[in-house]
Structure 1
Amino acid sequence: MDQEFYAIEIDEALEKLDAVPAGLSDEQASARLAEHGPNRMPAPPERSLALRFLSHFHNILIYVLLGSALITLALGHLVDTAVIIAVVVANAVIGFVQEGKAERAMESIRGMLAPRAAVLRGGERRTVDGAKLVPGDVVLIEAGDRVPADLRLIRAHGLQIEEAILTGESVPAQKSLAPVSAGAPLGDRSCMAFSGTLVTSGQGRGVVTATGAKSEIGRISGMLATVEVLTTPLVAQMNVFAKWLTVLILLVAAVLLVFGYYVGHHDFAEMFMAVVGLSVAAIPEGLPAVLTITLAVGVQAMARRNAIVRRLPAIETLGSVSVICTDKTGTLTRNEMMVASVAVSGHVFSLEGNGYEPEGAVKLAEVPVRALDHIHLAELARAAASCNDASLHRRDGHWTIEGDPMEGALLALAAKVGVDVQRELSARTRTDTIPFDARHRFMATLHHDHPGHADIFVKGAPEKVVGMCKGQRNRSGEQEPLDEGYWHEAADVMAARGQRVLAIATREVDHTQTDLKPEDVEGTLTMIGLVGLIDPPRAEAIAAVAECREAGIRVKMITGDHGRTAAAIGRMIGLENPDRILAGTDLDRLDEADLASAVTATDIFARTNPEHKLRLVKALQSQGLTVAMTGDGVNDAPALKRADAGIAMGRKGSEAAKEAAELVLADDNFASIAAAVREGRTVYDNIRKVISWTLPTNAGEAMTIIVALLFGMTLPVTPIQILWINLVTAVTLGIALAFEPTEENTMRRPPRPRDEPLLNGELAWHIVLVSVLFLGGVFGIHAYAIDRGYPVELARTMAMNTLVVMEIFHLFFIRNIYGTSLTWKAVRGTRVVWITVAIVVAAQFLVTYLPPLQAVFATKSVPFLDGVLIVATGVALFAIIEVEKQLRLSVRRRGR
């Protein structure tokens, strides 16, 4: 907003906008429309489908694969070329289909603007297209309307507006005309109505202060356009790994080419073909596709957990988060008001239940009681149901309300106490009402029953209603002098628990009275009691927060609600530090360095706006933390987009939040986040298993060629045989690891550091060890075959099968990287593992014994006993690396 219209009087606002209460003329409106533009968000530039598809080829490892394909094509190796191209294209297609585009978030925000609006033009009421509203227009709003632009209110009668999409508050905001202090938080600007919010009750009139991109909701859209989308840890690490792998492969290939030509005096064409064979062996051409398939398997697993994935890498990111920043309303809480406590003279009752469900125990001193036995409690319930404009309905198995959420909670209270609400309402006729207004802060109703009695019921702010009373009900239902101190103290205790407090009072009047005036309730009422309302936490959210803490994940609440309410919910759900709270005004006073220091020690941030949420996410990321952000409102969208893993609510969430997020919870259940984190960690473990299996096997294949070239030996395996091995094993054995189940204690491990490399020292040592063992096995079998006088084709066939057998045994080892592989469960494996092993074995039998394939791959039939020797080589490999792992794990355990 260009000017703080909420901080100035109505006359000054009209003057600044060059407007009058009767509205603009048609000529003025047309001129301003030309100046300010239509009341809608500017459409963002969209990338073409072709560019979106080509962007999936933008990866250095893919570039190397494409370069290898060109070289093999130039050398006439069409089979090699076709396989490499097929892998690259498949990877791009899967990514193109799976990944959603967060840029559509702004489109969903544009759809929230009202299509039509009632305005005054030249003193006449008209209905115009919402896009044609301009600053200075006078707009009329009433219950059920969506506010079409930002308005400075100039008239309000019982006006309440639900602003949860902007502020996160579950209770509608009460509107008034008086200006508020400059710099007031968004939720406290009571004289403003904001575009996209919903009028729940009352009527109002306001002058347009901002439209389109200049409105509050438009500023959020602008923030989304400028928010930098961080790459996920997996993508970042794979980019770094691919870059260095490429440099290493090209460097080794160049050195070997120069060495062979100038030192070994080999033919250049022969050396070049050998170098191409080395590249084919060293480049894990199937790795991108297998990683994508691993992520796709995770998508299906998360869908079963009610988490819908919109961008594939976000699965792995969710598994690495160390902080979850969560909205309160609708995420940790039910977004439903419920009466939690009732204070009457001498007693304080507590109530249980779920949201608006009209069932639940009433307790006194933690002991269930029959509520109707307490006269003053029953009277309070009847008064709460009578002084009420809401209605309670059961639809599709769920209890919902129409009207004000707090009034709906009062109806549920009456039913829990045992009052038949419908019977109670039909027994009395409402004859007059004083609607709730922010100026007098109470609602009063006048009722007549059939026997001829007349009663006034009043509900409102305790500090107001108590001052209107002259007496109170005692435990017997009789009137006694008012004890103001008791009621103020009870109200303070409820408020300290984060409850919103309402006072309820009554007065009996003459049955001839049929109208209700303010003086009828001033200083004449009898105080019945207080009710404390709260938006209760989800029971499953409490368990989910505990599970996250056990997994080393810090949960932080970022809400637009009041600090006291947020602290109460924080204590209920088990936040680590619920008593330390920073409000939005506190955040405004902190620079980026101070905020980065404060954000790690604070778990509750209250009265925040969209900029605060975005700053908090950035501050946590500056500490090296991987941040997940959950939310459901438009106000959460920028932070969802910036976070490493944005998680939107699927049922109650706005479209803007869903489009900005990487994941959407189909059941709006915070507990699903803990399940999704477990799946995310499983996906990352499986990715590590894929890499830990792929790199050593590729390195082992490459080493055989490097050693042969350096020492002038015959290649034990030809380039076409190497490609065959990679094709058959990568698309089978590698994919089998994508389906591995979750290992034990997955959710008891702390989150991995954000900068933890995929290729750490442990994996590097494993690559060296396995490469050396592969080298010994291949050259040992090859040397054995030559020594037996076998032709070179048979020796190479035996060496090729040795490579495949060692890869199979290496697979069974990798399946259990955190424990022993020598258990029945580990040996039994999974159905997918044995299917892939069967496919690989069948493929090797075909290429070894089928004459047409023997001609293509230059293979010979292997004798039975030599086949047994090859299998024994695989068993020896497994035994050596398993013993090494157990020694390493025992040393690590002793070091703790």
Structure 2
Amino acid sequence: MKKRIVPRRRFPIAFEDVGGNLEACNPQELFLKLDASPEGLTQDEAERRWRIGTAKAFVRPEWWNAVLLLCSQFKSPLVLLLVVAVGLSAALGDTTNALIILFILLLTGTLGFWQEYKANRAVKKLQALVRTTVAAKRDGKWQKIMLDKTVPGDLIRLTAGDLIPGDCLLLKATDLHVNEATLTGESFPVEKRVGASPPGVPLNLRSNVLFEGSSIVNGEAEALVAKTGDRTELGKITRKLQQSAGKTAFEQGVTRFGYFIMQLTFFLAVGILVLNLFFKKPVADSILFSLALAVGIAPELLPAIMVTTLSAGAERMARKKVIVKKLSSIQNLGAINILCSDKTGTLTTGEAEVHSTLDINGQPSGLVRQYAWLNATFESGFFNPLDEALRHMEGMNAEGYSKFDEVPWDFIRKRLSIVVEKDARQIMITKGALQNVLDVCTHAEDAAGKRYPIKDVRKKILENFRAHSAKGFRTLGLAWKVVSGDPVINKDDEQEMIFLGFIYLFDPPKPDIREAIKNLDALGVTLKIITGDNHHVARHIAYMLGMQKPRVLTGIELRRISDEALPAKVMRTDIFAEVEPNQKDRIIDAFRNGGNVTGYIGDGINDATALRAADVGISVDSAVDVAKEASDMILLEKNLDVLREGVLEGRKTYLNTLKYIFVTTSANFGNMFSLAVISLFIPFLPLLPQQILLLNFLSDIPALGIAGDKVDEEQLYRPKRWNVHLIRRFMTLFGFQSSLFDFLTFAVLLWYFRVDEAHFQSGWFVESALTELLILLIVRTARPALHSRPGRFLLGTSLLLALAIPTIPYLSAGAIIGFKPLPLSLLAGMIGIAVLYGILVEQMKKLFFKKFEW
């Protein structure tokens, strides 16, 4: 009989493809429908499923993204209007000029595209260094895989701090609480448990389902992935949920500045068009001239300059071990004046050492030591340095002991319990914050085995605790009891326990941390410590860091302060101790509401909201996934010196971007304003539209070198914030000065040399182009221009253009766009006016920066 061949079933991309409600499904049914097993997928099958899923998902190819980026360079309404006007001009027979204008526009757009394209590629490479993983069972073994490589049918294991990679059915859970705020908006963790839910219940009632985008707050779980990508509950409503990321203060300032320039440009262009038509100048020429003026004023390369400057800053920061996830955060990093930091691992070594294990009388206790080691050794939750220190105690072994069960740590109980079995007896060993351990104890036991009611020795226990805390020791309490052989052990069993003693640990400050704090302070960045440790420990460590009289505010005191009074109070506080997780973002908000730009360093599960609340959220490469996801940048070394370098790079990036804005608001605006005014008093256009665009294009070439320009050292010592009033004053003053020299040039050309139309345009083009180069080289530094060397590209292109620009009227290509060769005396006059302009701008700059303390 011929064997029947069963065709291999293609795996379903998502659970709904095979019918049913995930919340009402039992595990055996789901394994069957997803063609999966409790042993996990094979690696080959997982890769096959991932390829199919990727093929079905809509992902723009790289070349299409490049095309969209190129098109975006021409999306400005002014440029589009100019293209329409050029089309009309060509239709009226002026094809040559129309083509020239289109060619120059294309060159300018291509210049911006190339800069942004290179910058975007560089940033993607840097961001790829940040890895987010999940534990999945492949080929029968648990292994770490990239989060985005998870496929339906994967069996995953999750612990506190993990991100959930897709919609999953819960198979096992121990005291599991999940943050689902991304999906449901619920700010408090939701308890999850195994067991079917009624079909079709609301998302927040599906207690047996884990949703993509959520994160594990505490507990442990195993789950079967049923949906990934846009088939998940989050994916279905991504467009509804997606909100543009909040803009940084710098971005908001640039946006407002852009609107201001656009409004100014619009009124100037419309006004000049109306007046030129009133004086009966050719309609087509008037329209083209007005639109070319508008394009000349508009800082059309500002987006490219910003992206290029930011990406260059990100690359430099990467070389200094800071990976930037959100480019715009670089400017905020340069602007921060408050840095909030956890104590452990950032200010201290993060490698705790066990100092002593003592009983309630302060005597060494071998049983405390043994039980503490067993608790840490059998614990399977997320990594923490205290358990790591306990596991490394010498001379310990688990002979005769086996693990029976575990009640994981959570931030409410602040305890971790392990149940071990020895000689057919189950012993619960609980360790955690001292007060939280005492809360579940009814008795205490000393090293000799004598027991006392807890109320009789509580005072002595707390005195011992305070004495050691004042010396900087972190304290854990340890308790135990015998439990029945109940197959299910949970947090309700943590009662009527016997307090056994103390575990004292010490996490010393980093050797170079005092110098690092001084260096940040020299940059105008004040350090504030936020810690869950008790105030005695925090104060002692702060003293070791060089804070002579640190001002401390505890979490309990924080609760009593109103939101209105808090901004003033936090500025008078150095240490926030005994802080609960949900108080961290309140502290951050208080600093921000007080007008401060605030950074926050955190790497724990309970740091995610504070990282999002800060102007700059900073995490480390070893942080839990949810902290890395919430951060704007990641330190490859948990080191404040690395952060200091990042602050400096942020300030360089800000200053270099501002240089382009200064040049745009002074030279461009001044020149275009002068052109607009003089066009009303002469019988011809002072510059043809294509000449204006060529002038604009040539001035943009060296401006692209701003991203790699050098910054004066003294400019880096203070936080730099967006200051629109400074920019407006700069634009008014230097634009007015530029216009004065333009009018001087017009007078020399018309009344001294008595030139015709073509020579007027050629002479003023040379003078204007040279002055734009000069002002770029002068205003890029607060120092005298000759005492501050520009970056190579900026300096090289400026020198080449300074030599090339005077020759343009003599070239055949110059004749095509309307230029004529200049008499040498006229050329010398234009160069002389440009030099005089440069000298006076240098003096004006000196007075301006001195007055406004730049």
**Shorter-chain TM-score range:** 0.5 to 0.7
Contact 1:794 1:859 in 2 (8 A): yes
Task: Tell me, yes or no, if structure 1 residue 696 matches structure 2 residue 666.
Answer: yes
Q: Quick one: distance in 1 between partners of 2:268 and 2:753?
A: 28
| Residues 884/140 of structure 1: CA separation in 2 closer, same or farther (3 Å cut) | closer
Correspondent of 1:815 among 758, 769, 780: 780
Distance, in Å, in 1 between the alignment partners of 2:163 and 2:289 is 71
Within 5 Å, which residues of 2 pair with 1:789-828?
792-817=757-782, 820-821=783-784, 825-826=787-788, 828=789
Distance 1:804 1:591, change over 3 A: same
Which consecutive residues of structure 2, in runs of 5 or more, have no partner in the other structure? 1-22, 34-53, 91-97, 141-149, 181-186, 195-205, 219-232, 408-414, 423-428, 450-456, 480-496
Cα distance change on mapping 1:500 and 1:68 into 2, 3 Å = farther
Q: 1:704 touches 1:716 (CA, 8 Å); kept in 2?
A: no
Gaps of 5+ in 1: 1-23, 35-42, 119-128, 167-183, 196-207, 348-375, 392-400, 415-420, 447-457, 473-482, 505-521
The question of 1:548 aligning with 2:520 is answered yes
Equivalent residue for 2:281?
A: 266
Instruction: Give the Cα–Cα distance (whole angstroms) in 1 for the partners of residues 171 and 244 of structure 2.
Output: 31
Match of 1:279 in 2: 294
Contact 1:324 1:556 in 2 (8 A): yes
Counterpart pick for 1:314 among 323, 329, 333: 329
More deviation, 72-81/589-598: 589-598
Q: Structure 2 residue aligned with 1:499, among 461, 474, 477?
A: 474
Cα distance change, pair 468–385 in 1 and its aligned pair in 2 (3 A): closer
1:331 and 1:649 in contact (8 A); partners too = no
Confirm whether residue 767 of structure 1 aligns to residue 734 of structure 2. yes
Q: Specify the alignment match of 1:853 in structure 2.
A: 813
2:382, 2:296 → 1: CA distance? 67
Q: What are the superposed Cα offsets for residues 91-128 of structure 1, whole Å, 9 maximum, x if unpaired? A: 56765773989xx99x998x748669x9xxxxxxxxxx
The change in CA–CA distance for 1:429 and 1:838 in structure 2 (over 3 A counts) is closer
Does the CA contact (< 8 Å) of 1:627 and 1:643 recur in 2?
yes
Aligned to 2:99: 78
**2:215 is the counterpart of 1:217:** yes
Between the aligned partners of 2:367 and 2:696, the Cα distance in structure 1 is 75
Alignment partner, residue 240 of structure 1: 256
User: For residues 159 and 293 of structure 2, what CA distance do their matches in structure 1 show?
Assistant: 75
Report what 1:678 is aligned to. 648
**Matches of residues 443-592 of structure 1 in structure 2 within 5 Å?**
468-469=445-446, 489-496=463-470, 497=472, 499-501=474-476, 532-558=504-530, 572-573=544-545, 578-582=551-555
SS at match of 2:619: strand
In the TM superposition, residue 579 of structure 1 has moved relative to its aligned partner by: 1.0
Deviation at 1:835, TM superposition (A): 0.8
1:871 aligns with 2:831: yes
Q: 1:567 to 1:747 in 2, by over 3 A?
A: farther
User: Shift of residue 231 of structure 1?
Assistant: 0.9
Across the aligned residues of Structure 1 and Structure 2, the Cα RMSD in angstroms comes to 6.0
| C-alpha separation in 1, matches of 2:676 and 2:356 | 78
Contact 1:341 1:533 (8 Å CA) reproduced: yes
User: CA separation of 1:781/1:568 partners in 2, compared to 1, >3 Å: closer, same or farther?
Assistant: farther
Is the 8 Å Cα contact of residues 159 and 382 (structure 2) preserved in structure 1? no
3-state SS of paired residue (1:270): helix
One-letter code aligned to 1:259: L
1:846 deviates by: 4.9
* Aligned twin of 1:731: 701
Give the Cα separation in 2 of the matches to 1:403 and 1:651. 10
The 8 Å contact of residues 165 and 634 in structure 1, kept in 2 or not, is answered as no
* C-alpha spacing 1:57/1:860, structure 2 compared with 1 (3 Å): closer
Contact 1:319 / 1:679 at 8 angstroms: preserved in 2?
yes
User: Paired residue for 1:350?
Assistant: none
Report the CA distance between 1:770 and its aligned residue. 3.1
Contact 1:542 1:574 in 2 (8 A): yes
Q: Which residue of 2 aligns with 1:65?
A: 79
**Matched letter for residue 821 of structure 1:** P
CA distance in 2, matches of 1:130, 1:772: 64
Report the equivalent of 2:576. 604
Q: Among residues 811, 818, 832, which one is paired with 2:793 in the alignment?
A: 832
Which of 84, 98, 102 matches 2:120? 98
Determine the structure 2 residue equivalent to 1:742. Answer: 711
The 1-side partners of 2:802 and 2:193 are apart by 67
Contact kept, 8 Å, 1:786 with 1:792, in 2: the verdict is no
Give the residue type in structure 2 aligned to 1:492: R
Partner of 2:335, secondary structure, is coil
| Aligned position for 1:757 | 724
AA aligned to 2:329 is: A
Question: Which range moves more in the overlay, 63-72 or 796-805?
Answer: 63-72
Aligned counterparts of 1:233 and 1:141: Cα–Cα separation in 2? 37
Cα distance in 1, alignment partners of residues 159 and 701 from structure 2 = 62
1:253 paired residue among 269, 274, 278: 269
Residues 256 and 329 (structure 1), Cα distance of their counterparts in 2 relative to 1, 3 Å cut:
same
Q: Please, which of 610, 618, 636 is the counterpart of residue 666 of structure 1?
A: 636
The 1:717/1:630 distance shift into structure 2, 3 A limit, reads: same
Match of 1:886 among 832, 846, 854: 846
Identity of aligned residues (%): 21
What TM-score do the two structures reach when normalised by structure 2?
Answer: 0.66
Q: Is this contact kept in 2: 1:634–1:657, CA < 8 A?
A: yes
Evaluate the alpha carbon distance shift between residue 402 and residue 657 of structure 1 in structure 2; reply closer, same or farther with a 3 A threshold. closer
For the pair 1:338 / 2:299, whether they are aligned, the reply is: no
* C-alpha contact 1:614 1:642 (8 A) present in aligned 2: yes
The answer as to 2:621 corresponding to 1:650 is: yes
**C-alpha separation in 2, matches of 1:386 and 1:289:** 58
Would the alpha carbon gap of residues 435 and 387 (structure 1) be closer, same or farther in structure 2, given more than 3 Å must change? farther
- Is the Cα–Cα contact under 8 Å of residues 687 and 738 in structure 1 kept in the other structure? yes
Give the 5 Å matches for 1:26-65: 62-65=76-79
Q: 1:404 to 1:557 in 2, by over 3 A?
A: closer
SS in 1 for 2:713: coil
Letter in 2 for 1:266: K
Distance 1:309 1:658, change over 3 A: same
Matches within 5 A, 1:361-380: none
Deviation at 1:236, TM superposition (A): 1.6
Match of 1:231 among 239, 242, 247: 247
- 1:640 paired residue number: 611
**Alignment partners' CA distance in 2, 1:637 and 1:164:** 13
TM (norm. structure 1) is: 0.63
**1:326–1:140 Cα change, 3 Å:** closer
Shift of residue 692, structure 1, vs aligned partner: 1.0
Letter of the 1:279 counterpart = A
Q: Deviations over 1:812-836 (max 9, x none)?
A: 311223xx316x532x544333311
| Distance in 2 separating the partners of 1:292 and 1:488 | 57
List per-residue Cα deviations over 1:220-261 (Å, max 9, x = no partner): 998995887311223222222222212222212222222222
1:710 alignment partner, SS class: coil
| Structure 1 residues 579 and 143: CA distance shift in structure 2, 3 A | closer
User: Secondary structure at the residue paired with 1:667?
Assistant: coil
Q: Secondary structure at the match of 1:629?
A: strand
- With over 3 angstroms needed to count, the CA separation of the structure-2 counterparts of 1:543 and 1:46, relative to structure 1, is farther
Partner Cα separation in structure 2 for residue 856 and residue 600 of structure 1: 65
Residues in 2 aligned to 1:740 and 1:144: alpha-carbon distance in whole angstroms: 41
